[in-house]
Structure 1
Amino acid sequence: MITQPRVPAVAADPEEEQRRVQTRRLLAYRDDGPLVSVLKERIGRALPPIPAILVALAAVVALAVTGTLSDGPILLVPVLAVVVLVVPTGAREHLGRFDWLAPPLIRAVEFVTIVLLGVAEDTPKWLIFVLLYIVGYHTYDTVYRTRQGIWPPAWVFMAGLGWEVRLLILGVGAATGTLTVVTAILTAYLLVLFSVESVLSWVRLDKASAQARAEQDLEQSPEEAAEELTGRADRN
């Protein structure tokens, strides 16, 4: 009988594993949506994240400073500039020295663009604030979960539309003069989606933790339980 030689298991490189997890976190913090998900497999050479995002931010600010963002279809220009420049960066592994800046810079570009569109279309400031707050909460929730080793499901990012689709929706609303209505609908949708999903996820986590503790208590012998109680009494 011919047997295959056993190949010794190769231990994973701790540094490489750490970089892999860090990359996964940064990609989650970007909050890319369905457009990036579809196009990143078809993009050839991805753009470096930081330069591309900075150019996009500079373009949006330049359009605002020069007074170009007045009314009508021109309001779609900053959105398209951001999408064209930043979407191709989603296919790149974020392993560069400064690539950790990509997620906060993307949030900055998204928020600045939303504010400028809202100001140009005279959208109620409180509505813009609520939208920014909801997106900010989603970002915080994602960061906190990943730091606890709990990864949000992929469908949340797709259902949340991602920064790119959110901007495109708002850009179309601004260009057609319906930004207030579009912002209200988008805000209500994201509020329900992110809040309900977050609450249900943490409730499930609490139940799983309680069940794990209960199973551990059942497996504990009477002697171990007595020693644990004695130790607690001594500490008190």
Structure 2
Amino acid sequence: MITQPQATTIPDPDEERRRIQTERLLAYRDDGPIVTALKGVLGRGLPPVPATLVAVLAIVALAVGDVLSSGAILLAPVLILVVLVVPSGPSDHLGRLDWLTPPLLRAAEFLTIILLGLAEGTPKWLLFVLLYVIGYHTYDTVYRTRQGIWPPAWLFRAGLGWEGRLLILGVGAAAGWLTAVTAVLTAYLLVLFSVESVVSWVRLDKASAQAHADQDLEQSPEEAAEQVTGDADQA
């Protein structure tokens, strides 16, 4: 587990606020190794909200048009999302509406998974478990950052990111192996996200308890007695 990124010099308060906002929204995006690898060659990136919104509308159009049946066409929603949204990764996400990017992206990911699963007849309970695991990871990330704690960078890479997960599922759907691919991916993500989350929170609790213990040891007997007396008076 790593803590909130810290600057090496005393930052300007406004610049620090913008930096933390960017870091938080990027964490909520849940980008994987593909976006990370391409950030250095994509310049400033596309505006994230328009790019993601266009991708969502295109995927909805494919669903309404009832063209997602079987075969290679099932890669279409995945490729649309990857082509349009991956280039938005380098954006600073400081626009007035850029906070909409993570929920739009998560909605697009979930919608694509559901459409692929329905097209290939994947058991609905299995799709639900996969969506639940990804949703739990998203909730855990949001809750941690609000506490000033940041998930380790390796977790986003190991979790494959939204783009990696969808590409794996898209290829599996196009090949007719979606149920098996979904089962393996779900099991992998379930173990990864649940174990890492439990271990991280346990370590945090231990560190917090140790900090309190160290603080108590530093107190003089008089200070400890005053604290006990004050607690008794309040009770």
Tell me which amino acid in the other structure corresponds to 1:228. Q
Tell me which amino acid in the other structure corresponds to 1:114. I
Normalised by the length of structure 2, the TM-score is 0.95
| Structure 1 residue 13, shift from structure 2 partner | 2.2
Give the aligned partner of residue 219 of structure 1. Answer: 218
Give the aligned partner of residue 45 of structure 2. Answer: 46
Give the fraction of aligned pairs with identical amino acids, expressed as a percent.
75
| Structure 1 residue 16, shift from structure 2 partner | 1.8
Give the aligned partner of residue 4 of structure 1. Answer: none
Q: What CA distance in whole angstroms lies between the structure 2 residues aligned with 1:63 and 1:149?
A: 40
1:98-123 per-position Cα deviation (integer Å, ceiling 9, x unaligned): 00010111000000000000000010
Give the aligned partner of residue 126 of structure 2. Answer: 127
Q: What CA distance in whole angstroms lies between the structure 2 residues aligned with 1:28 and 1:129?
A: 23
Give the aligned partner of residue 73 of structure 1. Answer: 72
* Residue 169 to residue 11, structure 1, CA distance change in 2 (3 Å): closer
Give the aligned partner of residue 5 of structure 2. Answer: none
Tell me which amino acid in the other structure corresponds to 2:98. D
Gaps of 5+ in 2: 1-8
Q: What CA distance in whole angstroms lies between the structure 2 residues aligned with 1:43 and 1:23?
A: 17
Q: What CA distance in whole angstroms lies between the structure 2 residues aligned with 1:11 and 1:40?
A: 27
Normalised by the length of structure 1, the TM-score is 0.95
Q: What CA distance in whole angstroms lies between the structure 2 residues aligned with 1:38 and 1:235?
A: 57
> Is 2:199 the counterpart of 1:200?
yes
| Structure 1 residue 235, shift from structure 2 partner | 1.0
| Structure 1 residue 46, shift from structure 2 partner | 1.2
Q: What CA distance in whole angstroms lies between the structure 1 residues aligned with 2:207 and 2:108?
A: 38
Q: What CA distance in whole angstroms lies between the structure 1 residues aligned with 2:19 and 2:68?
A: 41
1:137-177 per-position Cα deviation (integer Å, ceiling 9, x unaligned): 00000000001011000000000000000000000010000
Q: What CA distance in whole angstroms lies between the structure 1 residues aligned with 2:55 and 2:170?
A: 15
Tell me which amino acid in the other structure corresponds to 1:63. L
Q: What CA distance in whole angstroms lies between the structure 2 residues aligned with 1:116 and 1:131?
A: 14
Q: What CA distance in whole angstroms lies between the structure 1 residues aligned with 2:149 and 2:112?
A: 31
| Structure 1 residue 12, shift from structure 2 partner | 2.9
Q: What CA distance in whole angstroms lies between the structure 2 residues aligned with 1:193 and 1:216?
A: 34
Map 1:69-218; keep pairs closer than 5 Å.
69-218=68-217
| Structure 1 residue 11, shift from structure 2 partner | 5.6
1:19-74 per-position Cα deviation (integer Å, ceiling 9, x unaligned): 11011000000000000000111113411000000110011110111111011111
| Structure 1 residue 202, shift from structure 2 partner | 0.2
SS in 2 for 1:36: helix
Q: What CA distance in whole angstroms lies between the structure 2 residues aligned with 1:45 and 1:99?
A: 14
Q: What CA distance in whole angstroms lies between the structure 1 residues aligned with 2:12 and 2:214?
A: 34
Q: What CA distance in whole angstroms lies between the structure 1 residues aligned with 2:11 and 2:84?
A: 36
Q: What root-mean-square deviation, in Å, do the aligned CA atoms of Structure 1 and Structure 2 show?
A: 0.9
Which of the pair has more CA radius of gyration? 1
Give the aligned partner of residue 28 of structure 1. Answer: 27
